[in-house]
Amino acid sequence: MTSKQENLSGASGKTIREPISNTNLLLAITIGTFFGMYALAMLVWGGGFLNPQQFLDIFNNNAFLIVISCGLTVVMITGGIDISVGGVTALVTMSCVVHLNSGNGSVLGSLIMALGIGLAFGLIQGLLVSYLEIQPFIVSLAGMFFARGMITIISNDPQTAGLESFLALKAFRIVIPGIGYYGKTGNFIPASIEPGVVVAILVVLAIFFMLGWTRFGRNLYAVGGNMQSAMMLGINVKRTKFFAYLLSGLLAGIGGFVYLLHTGAGDAANATAAEMQAIASSIIGGTLLTGGVGNVIGTLFGVLSLMTINNIVRASGLRDPWWQSITTGLMLCFFILLQSVILSVREKKTTIALPAWMMIRRRT
């Protein structure tokens, strides 16, 4: 892309600077806001925000949210939506705990179970959405209802996993060398992350490279941007959409396992409203619900921003739980308005300054 641009500019003898794309601009704003917010929090409240462990805890507590938000971003890029992810996450935690406690359960078995449940949801929802052309909202709504209902059919009461090998994996921490904090007694405690965080980061990187550098990833943007033109370019629109939902289901399964690694318990109230948090994170990260625009790095920073603002609200003394949802709403409002204004301003600009080669050539 850039080399082509250089050739163009070289040929015309002028230096044309390619304007930053909408995706990258929204991404830059999100990342900038996150770092700005965190720096401000460090300056104003100091204390906990200066503690590297508190920063890493944002990852530790929300690794599952990062994973399912990535899946949702992929679906939203195609112009669809999947609100079943929270329900699937909770269903996976419950089924895995029941499997682990059944006496002949194993960690590997529960992992396969998690992936299987996620894939099954993705498979059925993908088939219904792409091949039967049913509205994705309704399909995934039914998926959410089904998952939430199934949890109570499996077990009505919350359960805690008790298998030795699983507990060992759950207690495992990856120590980050070099950084840490001093405990109350003055001893140095190194900062650490949970295995789920590694999974989340790997998922983000995998989806990032898939979206940017694979045929499937580019097809997703094409389908979401304009389905008609994608079809005319010979892209198999239905298959692309199907795999997007399959991927989202799979990631919800992985997210469920990561959630289980963090809490170790299955409960019908697990991951409540996680789908809405995931949608909010994707939007803050610059993904448009209309499709065609989005980036998982943005989504990652969306999750981080959403959780940092909650920490800030708590640090500033507003400890009532209802303050958090109000600030989440305000933050969402700010980003949505910002995106809307930026996009409309840029749209006006680009219509005025069309590059010369795109103009219709008049016959003389």
Binding site for another protein (CB under 8 A): 81, 128, 131-135, 137-139, 141-146, 148-150, 152-153, 156, 268, 273, 276, 279-280, 283, 288-290, 322-323, 325-326, 328-330, 332-333, 336-337, 340-341, 344
- Rounded least distance, CB 76 to another protein, Å: 10
Q: Which is nearer to another protein, 113 or 288 (CB)?
A: 288
Q: Which is nearer to another protein, 105 or 136 (CB)?
A: 136
Q: Which is nearer to another protein, 208 or 323 (CB)?
A: 323
CA 212-216-221 angle, 5° bins: 65
Beta bridge pairs of residue 160:
265
Q: Which is nearer to another protein, 119 or 342 (CB)?
A: 342
- Rounded least distance, CB 64 to another protein, Å: 19
- Rounded least distance, CB 72 to another protein, Å: 13
- Rounded least distance, CB 93 to another protein, Å: 16
Which amino acid is it at 322?
Answer: W
Q: Nearest CA to 284 among 100, 56, 26, 74?
A: 26
- Strand pairing class (174-182; 265-266): unpaired
Q: Which is nearer to another protein, 15 or 228 (CB)?
A: 228
- Rounded least distance, CB 133 to another protein, Å: 5
Q: Which is nearer to another protein, 304 or 306 (CB)?
A: 306
- Rounded least distance, CB 41 to another protein, Å: 21
Q: Nearest CA to 114 among 243, 250, 268?
A: 250
Q: Which is nearer to another protein, 136 or 256 (CB)?
A: 136
- Rounded least distance, CB 144 to another protein, Å: 8
